[in-house]
Amino acid sequence: MNHTSDDGSAMQTQSEDGALWGGRFSTQIHPAIHDFTGSLHFDRHLVRHDLLASLAHARMLRECGILSTEESDPILMGLSEMLLEVESGALKVEGPDEDVHTWIERELVGRVGDAGKRLHTARSRNDQTAIALRLYVRERLEDILAGVSGFQRVLAEQASQHHETFLPGYTHLQRGQPVSLAHHLLAHTTALEQDVERLRAAHTLAGVSPLGAGALAGSSFPIDPERSAELLGLDRTFTNSMHVVGDRDYVLDVAFACSVLLVHMSRWAEEIILWSTREFGFIQLDDSVSQGSSIMPQKKNPEAAEILRGKSARAIGNVTALLTLVKGLPLTFNSDFQEDKERLFDSLDTTDWSLAAAIAIARGVEFNTGVMEDALSGGMLTATELADHLVRRGVPFRTAHEQVGQAVRTAENEGVELWELPIKTLQDCCPQIDDEVHEILKPHRAVIEHDSPGGPAPAQVLKQLQATNQNLATLEEWLQKRTDSPIRCAHDNQQLLDEILT
Q: Which positions are annotated as active-site residues?
A: 172, 293
Return left, alpha or beta for 283; rule: phi > 0 is left, psi -120 to 50 is alpha, else beta.
beta
- How many Å apart are CA 260 and CA 191, to the nearest integer? 10
- How many Å apart are CA 99 and CA 179, to the nearest integer? 56
Checking 320-329 for CB contacts under 8 A at 24+ apart, the result is 322/248, 322/251, 322/252, 322/255, 323/252, 326/248, 326/252, 329/246
Nearest residue to 205 via CA among 253, 159, 144:
253
SS3 of the chain: helix, strand, coil, percent, to 5:
65, 5, 30
Going through 156-207 in order, the beta strands assigned E by DSSP cover 166-171, 174-180
* Cβ neighbours of residue 170 closer than 8 Å, sequence gap 6 or more: 176
DSSP letter string, 89-129: TSS---SS-SSHHHHHHHHHHHHHGGGGGGTTTT--HHHHH
Phi, psi of 193, rounded to the nearest 5 degrees: -65, -35
